[in-house]
Amino acid sequence: MKKIKYAQKFFVFITAFSFLFVSLLVSYSGQGSGQTEAPGKLSKAHRHLSGKQSCGNCHAGGKKAKHVNCLTCHKELARRIKAGHGYHRDKQEDCEACHQEHRGENQSLIQWEIKDFDHADTGYLLSGAHRSVRDCDRCHKPANAPARKYSKSFLLKDSRCSACHRDAHRGNRPVCGECHQTIDWSVDIW
């Protein structure tokens, strides 16, 4: 009977030791190479970066991605941050706080609800008739956004009135606000 209890204790000890040894070995081998297993698939926007050889483009030594690595590819955002313009003007650190990667191909990197978005945070206040526009795509369309291969951009190349509105003056009156207001586009000239 004592031999069986001794054998059971020895088996438990060997199992625990083996588990600990293998865990340490896996952890150590991952640290040395700087490569670890991805926590999940990349989004469609970044799937072209998949593969262990590409991990180092965003991560160093298996650690969290640094914002400077994001801004290496997202040059238009980097330019706007440096100039202090747009939504990201004060969000130059910790991109992963809002854009969480490795959650799967079909997950969006934009984690906010359009209905809850405060457009004033972009530095372009929607006033007058613009406040009633519910379809963001009326202004934020691919033709007026920086080119992207894998996703849509909400950045605008041009925020002037003529980017969304037909210029009835054919460029002869370049400052729309001299005559028009966002409350009512019509002008009482009489």
The pLDDT value given to residue 28: 44
Provide the pLDDT for residue 34.
45
Q: What is the pLDDT of residue 36?
A: 55
> pLDDT of 5-29, one tens digit each?
666 776 666 776 666 555 555 444 4
Least confident among 26-40, 73-87, 140-154, 175-189: 26-40
The first and second tokens of residue 93, run together, are 């650190």
pLDDT above 80: residue 146: yes
pLDDT the model gives residue 33: 43
Q: What is the mean pLDDT of the chain?
A: 78
pLDDT of residue 27: 47
Q: Is the pLDDT of residue 85 over 80?
A: yes
Q: What is the dihedral of CA 75, 76, 77, 81, to 10 degrees?
A: 100
Q: What is the per-residue pLDDT for 32?
A: 41
* Confidence category of residue 49, pLDDT binned at 50, 70, 90: confident
Tell me the average pLDDT across 101-127: 85
